Amino acid sequence: MKQNNRKSAYFLTYAAAIAAIYVVLTLALAPISFGPIQFRVSEALCILPFFTPAAIPGVFLGCLLSNLLAGAATLDVVFGSIATLIGAIGSYALRGNKWLVCVPPIVSNTIIIPWVLRIAYGSADLIPFMMLTVGIGEILAIGVLGNLLRAMLERYSGVIFRKNLV
């Protein structure tokens, strides 16, 4: 029973730490983290389900809190966070292939966020244009920064993400 409590504590700690890092990165870089042309550096953390399932609630809550604290529209808070959750679940499902884990969050955000921008904020940009701009930002944040982060963390994953505890 004590081992299960320890696993739960580690899981919650990892999730909370990931959420906190996501929030700090998003809000510290707020001018480039929001809008139709955005580069959300914190999205690089969407690669973390490769290492731990605790990253799923971590990036979801981080996105939710970031959008909430930044004063985003309600639809953005809800559906922007759901886009990140879908991406994190997809990344975890593809964790067997380190090169594919970045695809689900890129795709989910590229498809969902332009509609959020249109409906929640009344953006006049065309949906395909917003898909292009959001998609480029996601490719840079997750595909490039996220994979760099993954490569760095892989080296120390046995220490940072102890499999027997998370």
pLDDT digit string (tens) for 77-114?
999 999 999 999 999 999 999 999 999 999 999 999 99
Cα distance between residue 56 and residue 28, in whole Å = 22
Question: Is residue 51 included in any domain, yes or no?
Answer: yes
Q: What is the pLDDT of residue 142?
A: 96
Question: Is residue 110 included in any domain, yes or no?
Answer: yes
What tens digit of pLDDT does each residue of 102-159 get? 999 999 999 999 999 999 999 888 999 999 999 999 999 999 999 999 999 988 887 7
Question: Is residue 65 included in any domain, yes or no?
Answer: yes
Structural tokens at position 75: 């639809």
Question: Is residue 95 included in any domain, yes or no?
Answer: yes
Place of tokens 């996501």: 22
Number of H helices, E strands in the chain: 8, 0
Q: What is the pLDDT of residue 112?
A: 97
Q: What is the pLDDT of residue 165?
A: 55
Confidence (pTM): 0.89
Cα distance between residue 39 and residue 137, in whole Å = 5
Residues of the chain with pLDDT > 70, as a percent, come to: 96
User: What percent of the residues of the chain are helix, what percent strand, and what percent coil, each to the nearest 5?
Assistant: 80, 0, 20
Question: Is residue 163 included in any domain, yes or no?
Answer: no
Number of structural domains found in the chain: 1
Q: Which domain holds residue 63?
A: 2-29+43-158
